Amino acid sequence: MGLTKQYLAYRPVSSFNIIASVRANISFVTINNVVGRYVVVAAAEKVLVWDMRIGEKVMEFVRDKQEVTFFRTSPDHKHLAVGYSDGVVELFSFESKESVCSFASHRSAVSALNFDLLGLKLVSGGLDNDMVVSDVVAQSGKCRLAGHTAPITQACFMQRYHDIVVSSSKDTQIKFWNIETQCCFKTIVDHRTEVWGIVLMRNDDFLVCATADTQLSVYKIAAITDESTAAVQPADEGESNVSPFRCTTAGSIQRAGHGRTINLVTDANGQVLGCHGTDRKIELFYFCSQEESVKKLTKRLKKLNTNKGNTEDEGREPNARQLALADEVKRLTTIPTSEKIKSFDLILGSRNQLRICCTFLKNVVQLFSLDLDTKNAEAETVYALQKQGHPSEARSVAFSSDNLAIASGSAESLKLWNRASQTVLRTVDTGGYVVSTCFVPGDRHVLVGLKSGLLLVVDVVPGEIIECIEAHEKELWSIILTPDRHGCVSGGGDTTVKFWSFELIGGNGQEPKVLSLLHKNTLKLEETVLSVRISQNGKYIAVALLDTTVKIFFMDSLKFYLSLYGHKLPVLTMDISYDSTLIITGSADRTIKIWGMDFGDCHRSLLAHDNTVTAIQFIPNTHMFFSCSKDGKLKQWDADSFQKIVTLPGHLGEAHALAISPNGKYVVSCGSDRTLRLYRRTDEPLVLQDVQEEEREELENATLATGEESTVPGMPGLKLPSKKTIGSEKGAETILECLEVSKQYDEEGGKGPLPPLMFAYSVTNTDEFLLTVLSRIRASDLEESLLLLPFNAVCELLEKIPQLTIARKDHTELICKVVLFLFRVHQKPIVSNQVLLPVIQKIVQTLQDAVGELRDTVGTNLHAAQMLQRELEEHDGCVLFRDATKQRLQRNRQRKRREASKRKLLQIVK
């Protein structure tokens, strides 16, 4: 075997620049019992927790290379449910900052998530038109609710009525579901346009829904036994036997904004409703309590009677039936914003202080505060996160010569970053679209090329523009330093290449001299210049033109030397190797071509990417190079062997540019997902054959061997609350392998040496082996794994259940779950198989005994714990809660009086 060439692996360090993604929502979170200070946002494939007071990240949750689409915090503020674009819902713990469990629920992106009142169940809605209710405790799916014909826009649990889910969809319908029966028992079809959101207000008294018009529809929910509601709609008597409540139209709320309603948000108690449309304002509404509504009604009736001069009804008390929607809903102050809102969340404090956090299109998070007790109060901006990232996509990046700083340019600004900490050092407002950047030798200045053709000289220390030069009439696409570091060359859309030299001007006595550029020469061409590069020996200058060719000229005389033609579309990027022997070109035709500088011959043409190649650069002092493309991928290549070395995890959208540090240890790239991604070269050796084998395995694993659908003969309508994944296929393979190994071991009498697989699982007999294999399968994949088993394997598994139940009573719950699922799926073949009849009888008997014993154990432990609690209270001199209630209430009243006497208004200043 011959020697293989080894490379050093590049690994991702971090992604930065993004404050909040516009696709996902934003939410308040309580950490260390602090409310209203921390917010959770999505940042591409990450979930970040920001401390709004100090403007820093305090937590970060990462699953995989999938974009976050929706998330929701649990009612106890201990867990965070995150939905991704591949349909997976991941549950993270705030305490451990790691994943607790994963639910493979949907076949497309997750669009809605909500916990029930206790946080024990989680409902998720997806773009696949389905909803899945998951059991957080059992870490598995409970049921799949299918009935909508368009993507789900919102799904939530009702608090007053147990196990009822309300959902809205783009199919213009609102449905009420019963989890126990897994069916829809009520549908609202009043709307003609898509329903974009629903919220339940005031402990399920009202249902508010948002559609494509400027009105919010309000429905009143009342129990079916209420006489007042029974008289409203006598036509709905047919639903009284299945629906525990009536849902009647209460009216509509007219929004002041324009366009469709994008988001509906309410606080935890359902008192304050917030909404926003396509304009720049947040509208707030307050749902009054029953007592407040009756007071408003009394006041309104008294005023009405006074105006009419009628005194007959003055002594009559107003009834709750007379309440109108205007009596129960009060409009609050509208909050104007500077930009269009993408999402927001609100929280109501104990002193009626409302806090609203918003995300905007321009990568900004803002926190507002509003005092509800103050009449005509205006919202104040408390904190804002905007300096931690570019407002728009970064289009250009560059490394400093000392490898410590990174410059990135976007549509309106230039930012300088600390490479070690990924924090912003300076922000410079360029006043134009940045398309190229370059550090000046000494790293005290940065050259910035704008789309308007201006060339800016930026001083790094004060973060100011010291000179603005009208270099080109059109886009300044490329800036490159000369090899002697005494000047630079720029190429623009006005078909010219201009040569500049660095000069120090000004400065008389006390004032220091400032850097300036002196125009020396101009090279006029026939086509737009897209990229310019100079060889390291200073002999040649290469110019990429819009006519798909690359022209090479002599640097000293600017005479024509070579023309490189072969690309079918324009060359957007290129680079020359350190020894001036190779030139590589990347084109919009998705290919990379490697040319020789001596004769201009094409050494190799590589179909490198699936889309336009946007940037390409050699690693210093090597013939290896990196390329990025609009397909979002970042790839490393070897220009000597013409082989791809590795594909790095790139951007979720397009990749716009990349830069390699002068020492070759770091690579930074920017893309349309608004992230800057940093990679570092490690000391880990990389063998090309191993990398290719891993990529082939990943490609094979990405496609399921058994197909996407979960089908069972005789059960065509089977809809499990999960989808088939690689984990479920591997779990089925592991069970089959376990049954085969156990069968061979039992046939040998179980006396020989342990099989290697059993030894690897650290088990001594086949029963423990099977139980270990079943317990190691992820709970959300267990049903799909059992569904893939052939019927003969199911029979073998059922034959082992009685002995397994007797031997391992500590895993009774897992065994019951397996047996019940297999009986439900394979009921007909199991019943018709006479051989399994004694096995089934034995399974029923053993499982009943095991479940009864487990129930008795749990009951004994519960009552023993309660007895210990009472003994500890008596030992410590404590009294029971029922005896201490009156004393505690009295102490609370005294404490509130003391606090009210010395309470001061707290004003938060930005």
What tens digit of pLDDT does each residue of 616-654 get? 999 999 999 999 999 999 999 999 999 999 999 889 999
Kindly give the interhelix angle for 837-875 and 791-807, rounded to the nearest 10 degrees: 40
Quote the pLDDT of residue 239: 47
3-state secondary structure of 469: strand
Q: How distant, in Å, are the alpha carbons of 170, 240, 713, 761, 764 from that of 752?
A: 63, 67, 40, 17, 11
Question: Where are any strands of DSSP class E within 63-163?
Answer: 68-73, 79-84, 88-93, 99-104, 110-115, 121-126, 130-135, 140-146, 152-157
Average pLDDT, stretch 650-660?
94
Q: Which two tokens stand for residue 718?
A: 């089977």
Q: Where are the alpha helices (DSSP H) in 599-755?
A: 688-702, 726-747
Per-residue confidence band for 321, with pLDDT thresholds at 50, 70 and 90: low
Q: Which two tokens stand for residue 838?
A: 């004694």
Place of tokens 């035709």: 589
Average pLDDT, stretch 19-38?
92
Percentage of the residues of the chain whose pLDDT score is greater than 70: 91
Quote the pLDDT of residue 701: 72
Phi, psi of 249 (to 5 degrees): -70, 125
Flag the least confident range among 246-260, 706-720, 761-775.
706-720
Q: Which two tokens stand for residue 813?
A: 């719950």
Q: Is the pLDDT assigned to residue 597 strictly greater than 70?
A: yes
pLDDT averaged over every residue in the chain:
88
Which position has the higher pLDDT, 52 or 319?
52
The one-letter amino acid code at 621 reads N
Q: Is the pLDDT assigned to residue 562 strictly greater than 70?
A: yes
pLDDT tens across 100-147, in order?
999 998 999 999 999 999 999 999 999 999 999 999 998 889 999 999
Quote the pLDDT of residue 320: 59
Quote the pLDDT of residue 736: 92
C-alpha 867, offset from chain centre: 46
Q: Is the pLDDT assigned to residue 283 strictly greater than 80?
A: yes
Quote the pLDDT of residue 197: 94
Quote the pLDDT of residue 240: 44
Burial 601-627 (b: 16+ CB within 10 A, else e): eeeebbebbeebbbbbbbbeeebbbbb
pLDDT tens across 361-412, in order?
999 999 999 998 888 888 899 999 998 899 999 999 999 999 999 999 999 9
525-694 CATH: 2.130.10.10
Q: Is the pLDDT assigned to residue 896 strictly greater than 70?
A: yes
Give the contacts of 359 (CB within 8 A, at least 6 positions apart): 20, 22, 26, 41, 341, 342, 343, 344, 365
Average pLDDT, stretch 575-596?
95
What are 642's strand-pairing partners? Answer: none
pLDDT tens across 332-370, in order?
999 999 889 999 999 998 788 899 999 999 999 999 999
Average pLDDT, stretch 298-314?
68
Question: Do residues 655 and 612 touch, judged by C-beta distance below 8 A?
Answer: no
Q: Is the pLDDT assigned to residue 444 strictly greater than 80?
A: yes
Q: Is the pLDDT assigned to residue 894 strictly greater than 80?
A: no
Quote the pLDDT of residue 350: 78
Q: Is the pLDDT assigned to residue 230 strictly greater than 50?
A: no
Average pLDDT, stretch 10-15?
93
Rounded distance, CA 307 to CA 852, Å?
A: 73
Q: Which of 29-38, 226-235, 684-693, 746-755 has the highest mean pLDDT?
A: 29-38
Question: Do residues 728 and 785 touch, judged by C-beta distance below 8 A?
Answer: yes
Count of C-beta atoms within a 10 Å radius of residue 825: 20
Per-residue confidence band for 236, with pLDDT thresholds at 50, 70 and 90: very low
Give the contacts of 289 (CB within 8 A, at least 6 positions apart): 202
Quote the pLDDT of residue 217: 93
Question: Do residues 430 and 470 touch, judged by C-beta distance below 8 A?
Answer: no
Quote the pLDDT of residue 909: 38
Q: What is the DSSP string of 677-710?
A: EEEEEEEEEEEHHHHHHHHHHHHHHHS-TT-S--
Per-residue confidence band for 561, with pLDDT thresholds at 50, 70 and 90: very high
Quote the pLDDT of residue 904: 44
Average pLDDT, stretch 885-901?
71
- Residue 637 is given by DSSP the state E
Quote the pLDDT of residue 888: 75
Per-residue confidence band for 895, with pLDDT thresholds at 50, 70 and 90: confident
pLDDT tens across 445-498, in order?
999 999 999 999 999 999 999 999 999 999 999 999 999 999 999 999 999 999
3-state secondary structure of 104: strand
Q: Is the pLDDT assigned to residue 234 strictly greater than 50?
A: no
Give the contacts of 574 (CB within 8 A, at least 6 positions apart): 531, 533, 542, 544, 550, 583, 584, 585, 586, 616
